Amino acid sequence: MKADLADLNAFLTVAQARGFRDAARTVGSSASTLSEAVRRLEARLGVRLLHRTTRSVVPTEAGTRLIERLAPALGEVEAALDVVNLFRDRPAGTLKLNVPVSAARLVLPAILPGFLAAYPDIQVEIVAEDGFVDMVASGCDAGIRYDERLEQDMIAVPIGPRVQRFATAAAPAYLDARGRPDHPRDLLDHACLRGRFSSGALTSPWEFERDGEIMRIEPQGPLIAGVAGAVDLLVDVAVAGGGIIHLFEDWLRPLLAESALEAVLPTWWQSFSGPFLYYSGRRLVPPPLRAFLDFIQSSDAVPAAYQIR
């Protein structure tokens, strides 16, 4: 029993997108074409692979098992085809990166413009998420994560600023009205603006450190927003005087510089190591990824603070 490679690709794309329309937009096809491909595959296999409703598409148990084996296999096929790129004058193809929202906002803007200019035949696709996914199974070539969240059996290289901090800040008008905290525990009496991951977990506790003392605070407040797409809303509300925000210092720095926000407890801001680009060590490195690795290690390509030491 043989299944067409295009039908397998169609099924995987629909399953990962959780819908025919979203999948069609991803691959530049039509929902009806993808639907017909999945039906054809199910007929050949003699088993239903997707539960279809008017609102969602969810893999069946058989479909889930197929995805677990199919995604890495198709990734290997793509990597094998990419080997042909070695015979080109310059690398070409697609580089797909799975990154946290913070990296899409704070790390990649300093790197991607130069990379895209240097490699015009490479198309970069960024998947920005707040959860931690199986990078290989999701069809990505590489991902960006912080060191404590790296997947096993992966090769990791530094990317972006090597030291970052979390900053706590609020609008001056808010602090004038509510008072300025002198200690992290004072935040328990303030309106704190919090984030929530798509998993449902809150981004708390807020962590602070000074002279070896570490404080973890479970803040309370009037607003919770998803960190996958609503961080800017939290920032806007903080600027408008709605409460205290706790976020990457690099994200808040422009607002602190123009006094739209005022630093809160700056001597307690906690530093942490910068992110890493990671990729599987069990498969061939496709030329687009190899080009990206070479680029981020080039002293002339990225800001000095981002260079790999």
Position with higher pLDDT, 61 vs 268: 268
Highest mean pLDDT: which of 64-68, 293-297, 301-305?
A: 293-297
Candidate from 174-178, 247-251, 270-274 with smallest mean pLDDT: 270-274
Average per-residue pLDDT for the chain: 85
What's the pLDDT score for residue 1?
47
Looking up tokens 């080109």 gives: 88
Over residues 235-254, the mean pLDDT reads 96
More confident residue, 246 or 198: 246
Rounded Cα distance between 92 and 130, Å, is 29
Please tell me the predicted confidence (pLDDT) of residue 307: 47
Whether residue 267 is predicted with pLDDT greater than 50 in this model: the reply is yes
Label residue 155 by pLDDT band (50, 70, 90).
confident
pLDDT at position 54 over 50: yes
CA dihedral 61, 62, 63, 64 (to 10 degrees): 50
Q: Which residue has the tokens 């680009």?
A: 277
* Confidence check: pLDDT of 150 > 70: no
Mean pLDDT value of segment 80-104: 78
Q: What is the pLDDT of residues 183-199, one digit of tens each?
A: 999 999 999 999 988 77
Q: 219-252 burial, b for 16+ CB within 10 Å, e for fewer? A: bebebbbebbebbeebbebbbebbbbbbbbbbbb
Amino acid (1-letter code) at residue 115: F
Count of Cβ atoms closer than 10 Å to residue 294 Cβ: 14
Residues of the chain with pLDDT > 70, as a percent, come to 85
Q: What share of the chain is helix, strand, coil (3-state, %, to 5)?
A: 40, 25, 35
Q: Mean pLDDT highest for which of 45-54, 198-207, 229-238, 294-303?
A: 229-238
Q: How far apart are the C-alpha atoms of 113 and 225, rounded to whole Å?
A: 30
**Residue 265: band (very low, low, confident or very high) from pLDDT cuts 50, 70, 90:** very high
pLDDT at residue 248, rounded to an integer: 94
Contacts 24+ apart (CB under 8 A), 185-188: 185/215, 185/217, 187/217, 187/219, 187/244, 187/265, 188/217, 188/219, 188/220
Mean pLDDT of 64-71: 83
* 278-296 residue pLDDT tens: 888 766 788 899 999 999 9
Q: Does 29 score more than 50 pLDDT?
A: yes
- Higher pLDDT among residues 281 and 210, named by residue: 210
Pairing between β-strand 57-59 and β-strand 192-196 as defined by DSSP bridges: unpaired
Helix axis angle, 5-17 relative to 31-45, nearest 10°? 120
* 177 contact partners, CB below 8 Å, separation of at least 6: 241
DSSP 224-278: EEETTT-HHHHHHHHHTTS-EEEEEHHHHHHHHHTTSSEESSGGGPPEEE--EEE
Of 1-10, 63-72, 93-102, 113-122, the poorest mean pLDDT is in 1-10
Say which residue, 214 or 8, is predicted with more confidence.
214
Per-residue pLDDT for 247 more than 60? yes
Lowest pLDDT segment from 24-38, 94-108, 124-138, 265-279: 124-138
State how far the alpha carbon of 225 is from the alpha carbons of 13, 58, 202, 203, in Å. Answer: 29, 26, 9, 10
- Indicate the range of 6-15, 263-272, 289-298, 299-308 predicted with least confidence: 299-308
* CA–CA separation, 132 and 182 (whole Å): 35
